[in-house]
Amino acid sequence: PKEIFLKDYKMPDYYFDTVDLKFSLGEEKTIVSSKITVVPRVEGSSSPLVLNGSDLKLVSIKVNNKELKEEDYKVDARHLTLSSPPSGTFTLEIVTEIYPQKNTSLEGLYKSSGNFCTQCEAEGFRKITFYQDRPDIMAKYTCYIEADKSLYPVLLSNGNLINHGELEGGKHYALWEDPFKKPCYLFALVAGQLESRDDTFKTCSGRQVALRIWTPAQDLPKTAHAMYSLKAAMKWDEDVFGLEYDLDLFNIVAVPDFNMGAMENKSLNLFNSKLVLASPETASDGDYAAILGVIGHEYFHNWTGNRVTCRDWFQLSLKEGLTVFRDQEFSSDMGSRTVKRIADVSKLRNYQFPQDSGPMAHPVRPHSYIKMDNFYTGKLLFSISWNGAEVVRMYKTLLGSQGFRKGMDLYFKRHDGQAVTCEDFFAAMRDANDADFANFLLWYSQAGTPLVKVTSSYNAEAHTYSLKFSQEVPPTPGQPAKEPMFIPVAVGLLDSSGKDMALSTVHNDGKLLSLASNNQPVYSTVLRVTKKEEEFVFSDILEKPIPSLLRGYSAPIRLQSDLSESDLFFLLAHDSDEFNRWEAGQLLARNLMLGLVSDFQQNTPLVLNPKFVHGLRSILCDSSLDKEFIAKAITMPGEGEIMDMMKVADPDAVHAVRIFIRKQLALELKAELLSTVEKNRSSEEYVYDHPNMARRALKNISLVYLASLEDPEIIELVLQEYKTATNMTDQFAALAAIAQKPGKARDDALDDFYSKWQHDFLVVNKWFALQAMSDIPSNVENVKKLLNHPAFDLRNPNKVYSLIGGFCGSPVNFHAKDGSGYKFLGEIVVQLDKLNPQVASRMVSAFSRWKRYDETRQNLAKAQLEMIMSTNGLSENVFEIASKSLA
């Protein structure tokens, strides 16, 4: 397998101007004809034209209407090369034969539940026809589809339907035209038995847009929330960014077999059913929130991704980082900003940071790859999308909302219709604001999470308060030495009553900066930390403050400060920045957990610090706080996050400590937790809004705590909650609470749940995941049994993610010291790779952090990786992850 480098980017020798596609969809084979207008980039050049192709049977090829002879072109497993095309513009016509019904990779054109659908990002279009499969080739497309009318009554593609009608032999056809230029990764086609929920949206300039969400007929009632989300997203993008939808039709199709979450194809978004279908009975609050976010995400791509796209795949963050940021903002505006931020930062800490210090560490813009798809399906996506979103957020932190909007406006003004780079985005932000961004661009090229240390000192005579920063970016594969980064640190100072102090001036690097705006003092400011070591001195600080650092998590770094335990309790109780209140609690919990982990390892009896219990009790009983915030604040840091902070990760110890804390808190706070459950039961009718979700979240976390007690009364209570639940959020939370402990109550509840929901594959996936993630001893045997369950199918990505992905997320069972978890995964990866390399590579990445564990585990995991590497016919996807993990 060959590694591809960013530095080797070359402009294409040929552009494609128009592309007319014709699909004749059949049960045995599908015929694809393409007619392309090819335009040389440099007039008169006649360099070879190299097209990508994979798993295609070439039927014929014509240039300017003339059939090519065999000596005029070359085909191999990956390319079709025209060695000397005519000089000047010419037409290229290619006919290929493909077999979507046999395509289990779910890339290109494939069948899902009897319907045809496509997935072309990143490099799936080459499985449909020979093409320059790269995003800087932007062309105008038409798409003609013909198929059997009774089997495939609905025929969809991008853009506008300009013609349709009947054909002989029970067939029909549709002709679609997309007026916007696009790269081929945004091409889509759907054909099948589908029905639509229809609605309309009136845009800010008064155009009526038809909205259609397509699913099999029986699922239509479950598309109401998706439609609500779509309309909300369209409105939000107009209000916040002035971005209006640009066609008269917008389609969404739900597909049960889908590698990713969803795909932003121009005007024809394809979605994993999981992210469209929801009803109160079958979907949880988490599902509702995910649907809102992802419907928004794909819709927002219409401008950030489609109208302005990426020059090459190294620039993926240009569209993904920006669009993830946009969907985070959208969800924040639709719900609670603090809670959304907490959820995103937790995700970053549990998944992205561990990866940032491992063999797969990648900058936001990677320097090389073997298999592009791994950017999406491996853990790499996190660096590109989530860290990428953090980078976009920093522009906004530095420029403010208005400055950020000016930058966005300039970005579209300059680049609409183009395929561009991360520098272009940076330049638009800088130029629109005349901003000094110092070394900000390093965020794109340096991998690793910066470690920033802060020490503080107060001078009571001079009334000055100093914050000294030092920063270090740890070495990562291929990047041993790093430059200091530009880190925006949002800061406030609390006085002894817990109020924010007025900040007037700060000295930095011999310069005096006034912080006041319009002569008014400010209560929070953003320090620009750009050097390896740097001091900021605030003046007119009349008493020793307690600093609230990195408010709202203003940069994706690890922060170490000299805050004492009592400072943290103070911040937990008083900080005006709600995020930092949560953060103070997390810091306390992290320190507490790390201390207990070391006690556990030394066989010292575990004791829970009473001050911690007291702090949590105050939060739990504070009726002025948002309920979902309370739910987050009493949730302990994830096991991944704690293991990431240890020299040698010890899953057993971390897990034991987390369980211990949960039980101890339940014992100490039993009365408060019980009353929280009582007071926060759902009303009969399910309402999806923040107050109701918050209430359910708080009740359900309380239930999980309580259920950790071996108390028959509580078991009865939880069973009762399970039985009387009127929505999936409450029902599943109660089931999860019961399932914590092996025994009859657990077995009965799991059986009951399955028999209730066996007809609904999305709910059955929850049932798989719950069992897969379980920490009950030797769960690997149970998971193996579930592989043979009639509802399981290795070819369906969602099922694999639930059962196998779920299992890999269980620290005790996946990392079982006898190696049973590793062996299980190794065998599955080999099987899966033959069916679907993208899904297999996502699974194999569970091994990538094997060096973080003890020697016994290291050897066991390494053996599995070596076994995988020695498998014949391994895909490039799995090869890349496995070989980099071993390196």
Among 107, 219, 264, 575, binds ligand DPP (CB under 6 A): 264
Q: Which stretch binds ligand DPP (CB under 6 A): 260-268, 417-425, 705-713, 819-827?
A: 260-268
Q: How far apart, in Å, are the Cα atoms of 455 and each of 69, 403, 452, 768, 811?
A: 74, 31, 10, 48, 35
Based on CB atoms, which residue is closest to Zn ion, 323 or 548?
A: 323
How near is the Cβ of 324 to Zn ion at its closest, in Å?
7
Phi, psi of 39 (to 5 degrees): -125, 120
Contacts of 97 (CB under 8 A, 6+ apart): 29, 30, 31, 32, 56, 57, 59
Cα–Cα distance list, 672 to 703, 704, 845 (Å): 11, 14, 41
DSSP-derived pairing of the beta strands 558-561 and 451-459: parallel
- Binding to ligand DPP (CB under 6 A): which residues in 571-600? none
Closest among 208, 214, 220, 226 to 252, alpha carbons compared:
214
Q: How far apart are CA 437 and CA 441, in angstroms?
A: 8
261 binds, among ligand DPP, Zn ion, none (CB under 5 to 8 A by kind): ligand DPP
Residue 260 binding result from Zn ion, ligand DPP, none, given CB thresholds of 5 to 8 Å by partner type: ligand DPP
Catalytic residue ranges: 298
Residue closer to ligand DPP by CB (options 310, 865) is 310
Cα atoms in the Cβ-side hemisphere of radius 13 Å centred on 815: 27
Q: How far apart are CA 835 and CA 796, in angstroms?
A: 10
Q: Cα–Cα distance between 234 and 242 in angstroms, integer?
A: 10
Q: Report the nearest approach of Zn ion to the CB of residue 134 (Å).
A: 18
Minimum Å distance from CB 297 to Zn ion? Answer: 5
d(CA 257, CA 104): 10
Closest distance to ligand DPP from the beta carbon of 284 (Å): 21
Out of 260, 408, 669, 840, the residue judged to bind ligand DPP by CB under 6 A: 260
* Region near ligand DPP per CB under 6 A, out of 3-11, 261-269, 582-590, 813-821: 261-269
Q: Which residue in this structure is represented by tokens 């899966």?
A: 832
Q: Report the residue closest to ligand DPP, judged by CB.
A: 260
**Residue 469 interacting entry, from Zn ion, ligand DPP, none, C-beta within 5 to 8 Å by type:** none
CB of 861 to ligand DPP, least distance (A): 28
Region near ligand DPP per CB under 6 A, out of 72-80, 255-263, 796-804, 870-878: 255-263
Least distance CB 236 / Zn ion (angstroms): 16
Chain mean position to CA 300 = 15
- Interface map 255-274 toward Zn ion (x if CB under 5 A): --------------------
Beta-carbon contacts of 746 under 8 Å, excluding residues fewer than 6 positions away, are 738, 739, 740
In angstroms and rounded to an integer, the radius of gyration of the C-alpha atoms of the chain is: 28
Neighbour-count burial for 447-462, b at 16+ CB within 10 Å, e otherwise: bbbbebebebeeeeee
Q: What are phi and psi of 840, to 5 degrees?
A: -60, -40
CA dist 883 and 879 (Å) reads: 6
Rounded to whole angstroms, how far apart are CA atoms 146 and 173?
Answer: 4
Report whether 80 contacts 34 (CB < 8 A).
no
CB distance 859 to 353 below 8 Å: no
Strand spans (E) along 167-296: 171-182, 189-192, 195-202, 208-215, 249-255, 262-263, 268-272
Shortest spacing between CB 804 and ligand DPP, in angstroms? 20
Taking CB under 5 A as the criterion, which residues in 576-605 touch Zn ion? Answer: none
The 8-class DSSP code of residue 310 comes to: E
Residue number, 93 or 121, with CB nearest to ligand DPP: 121
Instruction: Tell the smallest beta-carbon distance from residue 325 to ligand DPP (Å).
Output: 12
Helices (H), 301-438: 316-334, 337-347, 353-356, 374-377, 380-381, 388-415, 422-433
Q: Does 807 bind ligand DPP (CB under 6 A)?
A: no
When the beta carbons of 323 and 708 are compared against Zn ion, the nearer one is 323
H runs (alpha helix) in 725-819: 728-738, 744-757, 761-772, 779-787, 797-800, 806-808, 811-814
According to CB under 6 A, which one of 14, 90, 176, 376 is a site residue for ligand DPP? 376
Q: Distance from CA of residue 203 to its chain's centroid?
A: 29
- Give the span between the Cα atoms of 626 and 624, in whole angstroms: 7
**Site residue total, Zn ion (CB under 5 A):** 2
Segment contacting ligand DPP by CB under 6 A, of 23-31, 257-265, 642-650, 848-856: 257-265
Residues 313-372 that bind ligand DPP (CB under 6 A): 320
The listed partner (ligand DPP, Zn ion, none) that binds 292, CB under 5 to 8 Å by sort, is none
**Residue closer to Zn ion, measured from CB, 191 or 322:** 322
Q: Which stretch binds Zn ion (CB under 5 A): 74-82, 138-146, 218-226, 318-326?
A: 318-326
Q: Which stretch binds ligand DPP (CB under 6 A): 76-84, 250-258, 259-267, 739-747?
A: 259-267
Assess 645 for contact with ligand DPP (CB under 6 A): no
Token pair of 148, please? 């059997």
Taking CB under 6 A as the criterion, which residues in 269-308 touch ligand DPP?
A: 297-298
At 672, which amino acid appears? E
Q: Based on the number of CB atoms within 10 Å of its own CB, is 290 exposed (0-12), middle (13-18) or buried (19 or more)? A: middle
Out of Zn ion, ligand DPP, none, what residue 371 binds, judged by CB under 5 to 8 A for its kind, is none
Residue 263 as a binder of ligand DPP (CB under 6 A): the answer is: yes
Structure tokens belonging to residue 872: 């014949």
The reply on whether position 630 binds ligand DPP by CB under 6 A is no
d(C-alpha 613, C-alpha 667), whole Å: 10
* Residue whose CB is less far from ligand DPP, 260 or 698: 260
Number of H helices, E strands in the chain: 30, 33
261 near ligand DPP, rule: CB under 6 A: yes
Give min distance, CB of 261 to Zn ion, in A: 8
- Within 118-147, the residues that bind Zn ion by CB under 5 A are none
- Among 114-122, 146-154, 268-276, 314-322, the segment contacting Zn ion (CB under 5 A): 314-322
C-beta of residue 203 within 8 angstroms of C-beta of residue 238: yes
Location of structure tokens 């970053």: 348
Which among Zn ion, ligand DPP, none contacts residue 705 (Cβ within 5 to 8 A by kind)? none
Does residue 691 sit in helix, strand or coil? helix
Stretch that binds ligand DPP, among 254-262, 463-471, 608-616, 867-875 (CB under 6 A): 254-262
Rounded to the nearest whole angstrom, what is the least distance from the CB of residue 135 to ligand DPP in the complex?
11
Kindly tell me which of 136 and 320 has the beta carbon lying closer to Zn ion: 320
d(CA 561, CA 567): 11
Q: Compute the distance between CA of residue 815 and CA of residue 795 in angstroms, rounded to an integer.
A: 25
Q: Which does 175 bind (CB under 5 to 8 A by kind): ligand DPP, Zn ion, none?
A: none
Size of the site for ligand DPP (CB under 6 A): 10
**Least gap, CB of 603 to ligand DPP (angstroms):** 47
Tokens 């970016």 sit on residue = 473
Q: Which does 263 bind (CB under 5 to 8 A by kind): ligand DPP, Zn ion, none?
A: ligand DPP
Q: How far is the CB of 320 from Zn ion (least distance, A)?
A: 5
CB of 377 to ligand DPP, least distance (A): 9
Interface with ligand DPP in residues 687-706 (CB under 6 A): none
Q: Which is nearer to ligand DPP, 110 or 757 (CB)?
A: 110
Which residue, among 252, 342, 308, has the nearest Cα to 638 in the 3D structure? 342
- Binders of ligand DPP in range 102-141 (CB under 6 A): 121
Binding span for Zn ion by CB under 5 A among 283-291, 315-323, 471-479, 820-828 = 315-323
Binders in 378-437 for ligand DPP, by CB under 6 A? none
Positions in the binding site for Zn ion (CB under 5 A): 320, 323
Positions in the binding site for ligand DPP (CB under 6 A): 121, 260-264, 297-298, 320, 376
